[in-house]
Amino acid sequence: MKKQSNSRARRGSPAQKRVVILGLPPVDSLDVIGPAEVFTVANRLYGREVAPYKLELISASADVQLPSATGIGLIAHKTLAQERLDGEPIDTLIVATGWDSATQPSPEALAWIRERSADVRRMCSICVAAFALAGAGLLDGRRATTHWGAARELAERYPKIKVDANPIWIKDGNLYTSAGISAGIDLALALVGEDLGGEIAMDIAKNLVLFLRRPGGQAQFSVTLQSQRASGSSLDELCVWISEHLHTELTVEILADRMSTSVRTLIRMFQRDLKTTPAKYVEDVRLEAACRAFEMGGRSMEEIARRCGYNSIDVLRKAFIRRLGVSPKEYAMRFARDDRTARAYG
């Protein structure tokens, strides 16, 4: 059972915002339920007489029965045809669909999305529903993301879109696109954070028993996870060994000796299996480990630098600025799980 929070917003109660989730069948059910749960918990935690959100699910199918890819049907509040007749103002429109229907959304749904985009405050897509926003012409000239497995197809179909397969979610103006599955929850938390403040968004994350409220800009998957995608590679054991020995010197020569091979052969293996170089891989893993350490807190900057293989805080700081464009302190202020953790690096 979810624990109730005693926190309350410090500002006055805003006007109720209507959040509409448009389901293009068959939907991936979590793309609908995940964000919906965030807004529902926000209503419960906000503690005002008038809940901040009025949440509605609209079905783009012929009736309110909304099929899902799992075979478990959802029941919408109304159909798209009924919504057209009502014409009630929408604050935030979130489009969700599924892999089977992503690239062939109905022309009627696209026309309605295009029409409503002119008067909604925020327009969002979850996972592969970015294809619907693209089909409606809303992402041309914009930066957008989707599930990493569909990013190339999105870029090829719609070359005017600046597709970035890395982030969890992206905001470009009033358009928001998110990556796969659970990233829809991250996006919904960000939307609530914009409306009600980060403290309430964090409370919601805790009530949903989420390990971390992940902001946009974080990668869809880690460097080590990417290396695991090349499962069966002769580099598997070496990659694990690298992650366990970041505090030691990891030159190309040392890695080649570990593999009992030549430097030239090792470089070829990395380029073939991981599409990178040994030095770049080590650099990426070190930076990722440092980022996770700053997010979690509990260690000094000196200890983080030492554990991740940086010779000094200055070397660590230069790596962050060169690769991420921010200092370790600035990264912690943005991504740490709470303000106290971030202030520890001040």
User: What are the tens digits of pLDDT across the range 220-272?
Assistant: 545 554 554 445 568 888 988 999 999 999 999 999 999 999 999 999 999 98
What's the CA gap between 121 and 117, in Å, rounded? 8
Give pLDDT tens digits for 24-34.
999 999 999 99
Q: Which pLDDT value is given to residue 236?
A: 86
* Mean pLDDT along residues 56-69: 94
Beta bridge partners of residue 233, listed in sequence order? none
Of 213, 214, 128, residue with least CA distance to 165: 128
pLDDT digits (tens, 9 = 90+) for 114-132: 999 999 999 999 999 999 9
User: CA-CA distances (angstroms) from residue 56 to 21, 46, 76, 85, 90?
Assistant: 6, 18, 8, 15, 10
Q: How far apart are CA 184 and CA 13, in angstroms?
A: 25
Residues of the chain with CATH 1.10.10.60: 223-343
d(CA 282, CA 266): 13
Cα dihedral 140/146/150/151 (nearest 10): 60
Q: State how far the Cα of 342 lies from the Cα of 346, in Å rounded to an integer.
A: 7
Taking domain 223-343, whether its CATH number is 1.10.10.60 is answered by yes
pLDDT at 67 over 70: yes
What percent of the chain stands above pLDDT 90? 59
Structure tokens at 282: 């080590």
CA distance 107 to 109: 5
Q: Is the pLDDT of residue 337 over 80?
A: no
CB crowding 125-155: b at 16 or more within 10 Å, else e:
bbbbbbbbbbbbebbeebbbbbbeebbeebb
Provide the CA 197 distance to its chain's centre, in angstroms. 19
**Closest among 216, 222, 226, 210 to 177, alpha carbons compared:** 216
Calculate mean pLDDT across residues 73-86. Answer: 94
DSSP-assigned letters across all residues of 291-322: HHHHHH--S-HHHHHHHTT-SSHHHHHHHHHH
When pLDDT is averaged across residues 197-202 and rounded to a whole number, the result is: 84
Q: Are 141 and 160 in contact (CB under 8 A)?
A: yes
Residue 59, token pair as written in the block: 């079905």
pLDDT computed for residue 213 by the predictor = 55
The superfamily CATH assigns to domain 17-207 is Class I glutamine amidotransferase (GATase) domain (3.40.50.880)
- 3-class SS of residue 138: coil
Tens of pLDDT, residues 117-174:
999 999 999 999 999 999 999 999 999 999 988 998 999 999 999 998 878 899 999 9
Phi, psi angles (nearest 5°) of residue 94 = -115, 125
Contact, 315 vs 305, CB < 8 A?
yes
Residue 219 has a pLDDT of 56
Residue 316 confidence (pLDDT):
95
Q: Is 87 left (phi over 0), alpha (psi -120 to 50) or beta?
A: left
For residue 31, count other CB atoms closer than 10 A to its CB: 30
DSSP state of 50: S
Asked if residue 217 has pLDDT above 70, the reply is no
Q: At which residue do the structure tokens 């597709």 appear?
A: 163
The radius of gyration of the chain from alpha carbons, rounded to an integer in Å, stands at 23
Query: How many other C-beta atoms can be found within 10 angstroms of the C-beta atom of residue 49?
Result: 5
Tell me the mean pLDDT in the region 21-48.
Answer: 93
Residues of the chain with CATH 3.40.50.880: 17-207
User: In which band, very low, low, confident or very high, does the pLDDT at 4 lie, cut at 50, 70 and 90?
Assistant: very low
Q: How confident is the model at residue 324 (pLDDT cuts 50, 70, 90)?
A: confident
